[in-house]
Amino acid sequence: MITVSGTMSLDTVLKSIIALLPVIALVIVLFRLDSHRLLGTHIMARIFLAGCISALVASYANAFAIESLGLEFNLYTRYVGPLIEETLKASILVYLFRTNRIGFIIDAGILGFTVGAGFSFVENIYYLNMASDAHYGVWAVRGFGTAIMHGGATALFAIVAETMTERHLKMNPLLYIPGLIVAFLLHSIFNHFPISPVLSTIVTLLILPTILFLLFERNETTIHNFLEMDFATHRKLLKQIQHGEYTGCEAGRFLKDMQEKLAGPVAEEMRQYFCVHTELVLSAESILLAREKGIDVEIGKEIHGQLTRMHALEKHIGKAGLRALRPHLQFTAKDMWEIHLLEGDQA
């Protein structure tokens, strides 16, 4: 837990870097485990920075809450502090979920851990500034213990939230509560044992990375199976619509109904939008399957042109029209994430 502090010395910064080396190393290891390259270094850097900012916000929130509530410090650090800090860190992930920037458990866990790493970086700077004369071993313990706890707690929130929300395009705040409870409990339990930092560090270092590695290994197979099945489904659906076979699926029936009810150009724009969107999803899935085999596929002019065309159609159809259109076309959260993946790769 952190509160507002003053300036930082160079020695404090150096000790902070040493304290954070373990968690940074683990972020890199987790990043390298992603054979599909779901994330780029640019988004990792931005999310790390967001974690740093959340720690700064937490410093003021904690200071205000301590003064307002008047709780005994140990009680506050065990219950109120963890709730405030985990909620702030989780809010970054919620934004990523709601803007379809997370597609699978792997990228959810990596981004969650990166948020926690950024948070712990600033927290370690604070504690180093408050106790700069402490031995370097103290900050190594904080790096292996507290920093890993912060990263692991937010990673578990992200993993649980992804599991709960992966099939939902509409926001339901209740679906994020289970993950927040898991993160809060981990943080609170860790803060219950301040007199045994070495033991807490050993337990944290053994349990959290092991859980993440096991989840990621299993999810690699899940991603492969999903991509193959989804690719086949989208390809079949696209062929049906392109050949005028509208009765075999809900999307086709909806487009057929729109052709009968709306003016020709409007209905045709809807059909084009569905086709371009589906073609882009197929392109994204093809790229991910190629990366799985170690083949690097670049975003070409054709995909860039399709993205431009899709956005032009979105602008012409309008936000209200898209809200009415998308549920019937059965676009999933992962479909939207795959579009963002292409946009991120071409940036």
Q: What is the pLDDT of residues 275-291, one digit of tens each?
A: 999 999 999 999 998 98
For residue 194, give Cα distances in angstroms to 23, 65, 197. 20, 21, 6
pLDDT at 186 over 90: yes
| Confidence band of 162 (pLDDT split at 50, 70, 90) | very high
pLDDT at 265 over 50: yes
Rg (CA), the chain: 23
Q: What is the per-residue pLDDT across 108-137, written as a single tens digit (0 to 9) for each?
A: 999 999 999 999 989 887 887 777 677 777
| Confidence band of 5 (pLDDT split at 50, 70, 90) | very low
Determine the pLDDT at residue 13: 63
Determine the pLDDT at residue 301: 86
| Range 309-335 average pLDDT | 82
- For tokens 């071993």, the residue is 137
Q: Rounded to whole angstroms, how far apart are CA atoms 87 and 208?
A: 20
- Which tokens is 45 given? 């850097």
| Range 150-172 average pLDDT | 87
User: What percent of the chain is modeled with pLDDT above 70?
Assistant: 90
Of 77-81, 95-99, 214-218, 259-263, least confident by mean pLDDT is 259-263
- For tokens 């050993």, the residue is 202
| Range 201-225 average pLDDT | 82
pLDDT at 176 over 50: yes
Which amino acid belongs to residue 58? A
Judge whether 286 and 313 are in contact, CB under 8 Å. Answer: no
Q: Rounded to whole angstroms, how far apart are CA atoms 223 and 289?
A: 9
- Which tokens is 338 given? 């795959």
Determine the pLDDT at residue 6: 46
